[in-house]
Structure 1
Amino acid sequence: MYGMNGIEYAGILRGNKRLLKTPIILLAFEKDDDLLKKSFAAKGIIDDLYFYPVKPIDIYNRIRSLQQYYSEILDQKVKKKKKYEYKIPLMKRGFDILVSASVLLMISPILLIVSLAIRLESKGPIVYKSKRVGTGYKIFDFLKFRSMYTGADAKLAELKHLNQYSDGKNGGKEKKAEKDYELDFNCPECAKLPEGEHCSPILYIKGHKICENWYIKQKKELTDSTFIKISNDPRITKVGNFIRNTSIDELPQLFNVLKGDMSIVGNRPLPLYEAELLTSDDWSLRFMGPAGITGLWQVELRGKKGVMSEEERKMLDNQYANNYSFWGDIKLILRTIPALLQKDNV
């Protein structure tokens, strides 16, 4: 195309989903060291570079080998994706419907009393809805009894320095707002490698190249910590404090279970701002298991008196996604009941 070099044009072609299995080879009429460097930097966009003169049979053989390679790699990715697709087992779904419907019927007087208490103490809706990410990155309306004063979300940025999952390395200093934050596209780890090599896969952000590891690290620093939990949160009402400590605020989630958004037992559905930071292969497995009201890390957290690192929590989520079973869920439910009697606010 006029005004565009071969590498730039290859980048446009590579963005076409219909050309995923199509090899892209750059042919230059004369040797150029600068072009050679650019082709190495464009790894993942162009597959190979040849300088004229070259035998047509060599290009033909290279194209055939690349076609076979792409076909095998893409087929493996499809098989891997199918392997990790989660479908709720029939026994687990039947258990969820039976338990949620029965419990909702039995606790209907409690639901009414709590609803009145919330309405009398503070203005606002009785049930709080928030977008959460569950199984297979499905987004749904997550239901809880409102335990905070209205407008609490707007105050979250002012309280991030109290986050229990923060590593405290910032010394309580105020961070830049995301709109004022500029990404550093120069990864210090990539700088140690030979030119054209990178420490992790390359992403294209705002027209610039950046390695995935360096991008995730900066994104994590910007948000202070992937998980946010504040001790003695001043945004919580008196009724809210009681229903949180007794886990009564979680009861409306039984309607989510009845609808099929989540299960009784599973990994907690995450807010969007937390889920977007867990897309790497190491942590995305937690979304390939059932989402639920209570799960492995909640029980373990209560047992550790409310103290757990972010890494521990994510590892427990992955552990549950890998090993969950119907009878394992029953054991977790039995462990949850005595844990609810503890005073720690999880």
Structure 2
Amino acid sequence: MPQALTRDANRLGVARPRHKSPVVLTALSPQSGRCRRAHRSLGQSTIVGLYELGGIAASVAVTGPLFGWPTAGLVAATVAATSAVGLSGYQWRSMPSVLDDLPRIVSRILAVALFVVSVPLLASRPGIARDALLCALMLLVVTIAARALAYGTVVFLRRRGIGLANTVVVGSGEEGLRIGRALEAEPSYGARMMGFIDDGPDPGDESTPGQLGRLDELPRLLRDYDIGLLIVAFGGSGSDSLVDLLRTLGRSRCEIFVLPRLFEMYGGTGRVQLVDGITLAHTRRAAFRCRSLILKRILGTVLAGLALVVLSPLLAVVAIAVRHEGGPGVIFRQQRIGMDGVPFTLYKFRSLKPVGDEGDVRWNIDNDSRLGPVGRFIRRTSLDELPQLWNIVKGDMFIVGPRPERPHFVEKFSDTVPGYQHRHRVPVGLTGYAVTQGLRGDTSIERRATFDNLYAESWSLWLDVKIVLRTVRQVLRFK
């Protein structure tokens, strides 16, 4: 593994949680300097899930005898499934309220009702459709009541010091101090304020915990204090150094909230929380921590396998043409760097025969005089990349992700290009966001790293679909 990636992997490893369980076991108290034992408690999503499942079970017990067990069970099972999906991405809530969730709850259960009711209506069974609708309405009322009771329980436990997340604030400026004082004074926010992390002077305020350390100690402090909530406010360091540092925390279990610029005018759209009237924006969950990544892996493997079968005639034609032009050795094997700096063997159709280790250290061969008509054509049309479908089936890479690079250049760019090492946070891919911006071949490495990191931080399945469609358009235009 290149040295630059080894250093980056070590930084990532620092923030790796020591305990697999999300339950806080011990935490250091900066006020007393002694270790203290934190309360064992159920997570917020667990409490909400238990209350809702209890409400669904009670609703089925009531509606089953009235409208039939199959109808009541079908509605309840569908609602429970959608509820579980919704709760899987729960994060810290400063002031949990059922009123904030009401639009989502209503829309979810109404969608379930329309789905369940449509089947008997299509079968000309209006009686069953009416019963299903009544079951759904009953579940809507029960779900709202269960969510309200669950949040009441969460706040009740918080006020007694149960279920509080160990919290640090990065930045001890005016806003950071205000947030720290609010969290310290009001346990119903669900945060146990441990202290500040900043390169500036200690706030020196007796009403709030003191400074725990400097920014370069952040990964270690998160581990030592078993931090579950990290709030980034304004402090003595610039945003560039903070971005680099926060990107190394992808494997930390803590939730990260950021105080946005012009927070006084921040409309509060998206996943935001308020602490003493200050808006905090939740950073996106790292792509490799999302359950959707499992679906992406399964879909990618299936689609790549199907593509190998469907495109097998084309693969055969290209292989014969390459063999005819350049002789034996149709497939070119080359070591590339994947997620977390793990090397793997990448497969391509050979466009020319390299001399010695030329393929590992030479940047571009587009203008090489040794390229024949076949080699130029398959490079121009990206047909030389098709054998990488086998890499996708093997699990070395995905369909969409940052393009994998050779170890020599990864080490070089990691030392010279800002943010380059962070593009290895996500699995590499056959095509990527940078590719759709025309950034391939002899183009700016800085811009590639920018778009690769943007992809890592804004990843979604729909973004992958858009990238694939744009890549197909580029290939069809030979662009």
Q: Are residues 1:245 and 2:384 paired? A: no
Match for residue 173 of structure 1? none
**Counterpart among 415, 428, 434 of residue 291 in structure 1:** 428
In structure 1, C-alpha distance between the alignment counterparts of 2:408 and 2:437, rounded to whole Å:
24
Secondary structure in 1 matching 2:251: helix
In structure 2, C-alpha distance between the alignment counterparts of 1:306 and 1:154, rounded to whole Å:
16
**8 A contact 1:133–1:271 mirrored in 2:** yes
In structure 2, C-alpha distance between the alignment counterparts of 1:299 and 1:71, rounded to whole Å:
38
- Please report how far the alpha carbon of residue 256 of structure 1 lies from its aligned counterpart in structure 2 after TM superposition: 0.3
Deviation by residue 1:49-72 (Cα, 9 ceiling, x = unmatched): xxxxxxxxxxxxxxxx999x9997
Match for residue 82 of structure 1? 251
**8 A contact 1:119–1:126 mirrored in 2:** yes
Q: Are residues 1:273 and 2:408 paired? A: yes
In structure 2, C-alpha distance between the alignment counterparts of 1:340 and 1:279, rounded to whole Å:
29
| Equivalence map 1:329-340=2 (5 Å) | 329-340=464-475
Secondary structure in 2 matching 1:328: helix
In structure 2, C-alpha distance between the alignment counterparts of 1:268 and 1:261, rounded to whole Å:
12
Q: 1:81 to 1:155 in 2, by over 3 A?
A: closer
In structure 2, C-alpha distance between the alignment counterparts of 1:288 and 1:246, rounded to whole Å:
29
In structure 1, C-alpha distance between the alignment counterparts of 2:375 and 2:445, rounded to whole Å:
25
In structure 1, C-alpha distance between the alignment counterparts of 2:429 and 2:219, rounded to whole Å:
34
- Please report how far the alpha carbon of residue 315 of structure 1 lies from its aligned counterpart in structure 2 after TM superposition: 0.8
Match for residue 446 of structure 2? 311
Secondary structure in 2 matching 1:290: coil
Count residues with an aligned counterpart: 209
Match for residue 151 of structure 1? 355
Q: 1:126 to 1:306 in 2, by over 3 A?
A: closer
**8 A contact 2:414–2:421 mirrored in 1:** yes
In structure 2, C-alpha distance between the alignment counterparts of 1:124 and 1:283, rounded to whole Å:
36
- Please report how far the alpha carbon of residue 153 of structure 1 lies from its aligned counterpart in structure 2 after TM superposition: 4.5
Secondary structure in 2 matching 1:244: helix
Q: 1:74 to 1:118 in 2, by over 3 A?
A: same
**8 A contact 2:348–2:385 mirrored in 1:** yes
Match for residue 302 of structure 2? 98
Q: 1:71 to 1:299 in 2, by over 3 A?
A: closer
Secondary structure in 1 matching 2:412: coil
Match for residue 214 of structure 1? none
**8 A contact 1:135–1:291 mirrored in 2:** yes
In structure 1, C-alpha distance between the alignment counterparts of 2:324 and 2:315, rounded to whole Å:
14
Q: 1:85 to 1:279 in 2, by over 3 A?
A: farther
Secondary structure in 2 matching 1:147: coil
In structure 2, C-alpha distance between the alignment counterparts of 1:307 and 1:70, rounded to whole Å:
35
Match for residue 301 of structure 1? 438
Match for residue 125 of structure 1? 329
In structure 1, C-alpha distance between the alignment counterparts of 2:217 and 2:438, rounded to whole Å:
45
Deviation by residue 1:243-267 (Cα, 9 ceiling, x = unmatched): 1111111110000000100000110
Query: What letter matches 1:289 in structure 2?
Result: V
- Please report how far the alpha carbon of residue 282 of structure 1 lies from its aligned counterpart in structure 2 after TM superposition: 2.4
Match for residue 217 of structure 1? none
Secondary structure in 2 matching 1:239: helix
Query: What letter matches 1:102 in structure 2?
Result: L
Match for residue 314 of structure 2? 110
Query: What letter matches 1:117 in structure 2?
Result: A
Contiguous gaps of at least 5 residues in structure 2? 1-210, 228-248, 253-285
Contiguous gaps of at least 5 residues in structure 1? 1-64, 161-227
Q: 1:149 to 1:317 in 2, by over 3 A?
A: same
Higher relative contact order at CA 8 Å, sep ≥6: structure 1 or structure 2? 1
Secondary structure in 1 matching 2:466: helix
TM-score by length of 1: 0.53
In structure 1, C-alpha distance between the alignment counterparts of 2:354 and 2:384, rounded to whole Å:
16
TM-score by length of 2: 0.39
**Counterpart among 393, 414, 418 of residue 258 in structure 1:** 393
In structure 1, C-alpha distance between the alignment counterparts of 2:325 and 2:223, rounded to whole Å:
53
Match for residue 233 of structure 1? 368
- Please report how far the alpha carbon of residue 292 of structure 1 lies from its aligned counterpart in structure 2 after TM superposition: 0.2
Query: What letter matches 1:86 in structure 2?
Result: F
Structure of greater Rg: 2
Percent identical? 33
- Please report how far the alpha carbon of residue 152 of structure 1 lies from its aligned counterpart in structure 2 after TM superposition: 7.1
In structure 2, C-alpha distance between the alignment counterparts of 1:120 and 1:102, rounded to whole Å:
27
Match for residue 180 of structure 1? none
